[in-house]
Amino acid sequence: MGNILGLNTKTRDSIIEPDGMDWFKGLAWIAAGIVGISFIATSVSVLWKMIFVALGIVFWCIGGKWIGKYVSAYRAFRQFVPTWDQKRGMYDRFAQELNTWQQEGIVPTCCDGDTLYFLKLQKERLKKRGLTMTDRIMPAKGSGFGTAAISRKSPWYTTDMVYESIKRTIRFENSNGPVYEREVEQVMYEIIVHTPNDSQLTHITMTCPNCGAVSPVAALEEGCRYCGTRFKITDLFPRVVNLFFLKDKTTATISGMTGKTIFFSMLAVFLVEFACVLIGENGFLPAKLAVCFLAAGFCGGLLGLVLASLRLLVTLFDRDGMKPVSLFKWSSSKKKITNIMQKYDSNFSYDKFEGQIVALIRMAVFAEYPEKLACYRGGQRDDRFSNILEMTYTNATCLRKVRLEGNILHMSLRTWWINYSETQGKVHKTGDCIDVEVSRNVAIMEPPGFSITSVECPNCGGSFDVVRQKTCPYCGGEYHMENEGWVIDDMRLLR
């Protein structure tokens, strides 16, 4: 475990990628052996021929040893299958639950109600379209940084942004077989809420893991008033409240790409030099071969490093098809939103805000009848939203406009996504922006709970799913969600 500037890292038991230097050492010794054996084609004395040929064979044996070491490590690396380890913490547990949810339909228990609600809505849409989705997430192989976490404390609880390099396989199938499949290397981020402030347990609300009703955490410890189930604080926390992915190359991929580029660059330079030797004037063959190998090693190696650096530079701009985002606007938007909201709520948490906006957008996109949602007032939804099968948030939100009308604060936001959609039986990937207009009543302090699917009726105290219904099923009173959290006033797709 390490701690550098607030960044905690936990290494993962994995296999180290093969060392490319072993490969190049082997090639260097084999090249020296070829030069030695080439003395057999010269006019030097038999004794010297025997000496250099013997040396060449020895050099070949040494080179073969290094090549064999590399090949053995390469095979072990290829055959190694990394796995999630639940003993390592919430990050691994939720990653494993995502896999079992997709493959076996076992409901995740590590996430909050909003994330689970989105997963269920997604599965309903896939079923309606006659599709199944496999979203398999596995830890990346190699000597990466492992699992990293950045902690942020609030008066209510602590929030961790935990991330790690992963390999993700996404596949969609219908009755005739697969219709889309891709493998991609990404960094998976989980936002995890944990360590609640004991003095705030009567104020922090969350959904009951058993029945889904909303209650203060302190009440759940004594027994849910709706189902009677009692929970320990360890049953309720930690919880994953947001999930997103960013495309990124793993250390093993970068190392392999660099090594291959240098090798083929050296090979190209050698072949050019060797061709020049063949068509040139007669000369001392060992000397000519030595010049070819030296040129390949120095000139080809240097050229390969330059080309590999250019390839790596190109990957920095590979955003998996995501639309361009201004780094300045993205980095400044978080600060602007935080400064605006702290005027009305000194305990404002940007992580919670971002999670709510992501959850609201996903619900509005995947709901069959969005107009029935208490959190959506956007009118007729763009038909293209109904074709989306999977939404990958890319951790990019920019503030566009903000205005205050009475006590209602309106924000215009642009969010960045990688979406998978189906049209005419074909699935395609697109980098989309979703613009949303959101609003809320800032005269009423937002409760510290982090679920927006279940609420408590202010009239009768009944708990119900505000996402599916706008009126309380117990007293019939209309629920104004803008008094408790954010609502979507408009939503537009930019593709």
CB 192 within 8 A of CB 159: yes
Q: List, edge to edge, every strand of the sheet that includes 426-441.
A: 388-405, 408-423, 426-441, 487-494
Residue with tokens 């207009």: 437
> Is 149 within a domain?
yes
The band of 308, judged by pLDDT with boundaries at 50, 70 and 90, is confident
CB 141 within 8 A of CB 166: no
CB 372 within 8 A of CB 468: yes
Length of the chain: 495
Q: Flag whether pLDDT at 2 surpasses 70.
A: no
Of 153, 172, 150, 171, residue with least CA distance to 161:
150
pLDDT of residue 4: 47
> Is 191 within a domain?
yes
Domain count, the chain: 1
| pLDDT more than 70, % of the chain | 92
> Is 202 within a domain?
no
> Is 200 within a domain?
no
Write out pLDDT tens, residues 324-340: 888 888 889 999 999 99
Write out pLDDT tens, residues 33-60: 999 999 998 888 999 999 999 999 999 9
Write out pLDDT tens, residues 430-456: 999 999 999 999 988 766 655 555 566
- For residue 20, the SS3 value is helix
CA distance 289 to 276: 11
> Is 336 within a domain?
yes
> What phi and psi values does residue 446 have, to the nearest 5 degrees?
-70, 135
> Is 115 within a domain?
yes
**Domain containing 186: what range?**
86-195+238-248+321-494
Write out pLDDT tens, residues 119-164: 999 999 999 999 999 999 999 988 777 899 988 887 778 889 999 9
- Spell out the residues 6+ positions from residue 364 whose beta carbon is closer than 8 angstroms to its own: 370, 373, 375, 376, 378, 381, 385, 488, 491
The band of 465, judged by pLDDT with boundaries at 50, 70 and 90, is low
> Is 403 within a domain?
yes
- Rounded to two decimals, the pTM is 0.79
> Is 418 within a domain?
yes
Rounded average pLDDT over 479-490: 79
Of 423, 425, 431, 430, residue with least CA distance to 383:
423
CA distance 143 to 14: 7
Write out pLDDT tens, residues 263-303: 999 999 999 988 887 776 677 888 888 999 999 999 999 99
